[in-house]
Structure 1
Amino acid sequence: MKDKIRRILDLVRGGKLSLDDASPLLVALSPRLALSPGDHEFIASLLGRPELSSAQVAEHLMLLRGVREVAPTAPRPPQAPPFPDPFGPRFGESLESVMGRVTQQVEKAVNERLASGGRHRDPAPEGDVRLLVIEVESAGGDEYSANLPLSLAPHLGKLIPPHGIGALESAGLSLEALQLLIEAGPPPGRLISAEDSGGNSVQISIK
């Protein structure tokens, strides 16, 4: 947990997130990490001290809120996720090139996962697979939708079209912050709904 807190604080220190933006990400890691206004000032002062690393500030925050480091659980054996026709049926004509690139990236990610897992394993039961649902609509009316295994969340930068990424950034949320939020293990449901001033929108949920 300390490493995830450190990564969030790195984003704050780098100016990519404000402490207000970081608060829901910290709460997603542990409800005890909810920051009061006084905590905001204290953490901001620690981050402003160059002699303290983000990891040290993360330790101070965990001590302040009474959060203990949890030993990581043993990783599950790699399995090949089921991947039957993950893309939705409707696409704007101008997204053909984007879809070709997305398909190549997904196939590459799946092949790498199979290669790293050694012998091919039967897919996990469908009910056990959590899906990342991405829906993007451009100002011109083009639509893009995908239902992807949650294990592909680290590849979001390659799976969301540029106007969808722009809508996220206009809402004040970077891709790295979104990936941290997904790593925190939120429950199924709507995760992000963002629309920029140009009318580009993106919705991300977990099933």
Structure 2
Amino acid sequence: MKLLIADDDPQMVRALRITLSAHGYDVVSAGDGAAAIALAAQGHPDVIMLDLGMPRLDGIEVIHALRGWTNAPIIVVSGRTGSADKVEALDAGADDFVTKPFQIDELLARLRALSRRSLATGGESTVGFGDVVVDLADKTATRAGTRVHLTPTEWRMLEHLARHPGALVTRQDLLKEIWGSEQVSDSGYLRLYMSQLRKKLEREPSAPVHLLTESGMGYRLVL
């Protein structure tokens, strides 16, 4: 799995290169935004990890540039902790956001999730979690081999999450996907439909392990 790290902190890059290489990643690195775009175009990495505060194009500009031609998962690793920065990065096209300082185990878990998403978007038509199988081609969900009845809105919500496994899906993305406009106001509808999905698909709906809420941001499907 080829991983591009874009960060202007050489000590951070060196530490990540050693750790991630030991876990089987083929790591390449760039020290600024322009170099990151050039390396991505040359090497076509499977996953891209980048900081927001970089010289010669900041992280947001890099995300916009990358999203013009690649769907490779992008994870932002940044010292910026404000929700506005996270929302801006996610709206620009990032798939996940990790705040510095971070635990390496958490970062590895996020990378594994994005790697699975990268593989899933390469042509797989089914996504499985727990005893649930979501068939994106047939537009059906089964649990322990039995088909689960979902309303059209529940299916659209589940389908969008299943097409981005492991990634944070914002409320705005879901509102646009389900109702066709990101200007639609979320008056608790998403929470209601997520609650219904958990009742139908989670072993313990009150303590979900797959259909997770990211407070103030959106939702995430963990396989």
| TM bin (shorter chain) | under 0.3
Between structures 1 and 2, the one with greater helix share: 1
Point out which structure has higher relative CO (alpha carbons under 8 A, 6+ apart).
Answer: 1
Higher-Rg member (1/2): 1
Counting strand residues as a fraction of each chain, which structure ranks higher? 2
What TM-score do the two structures reach when normalised by structure 1? 0.22
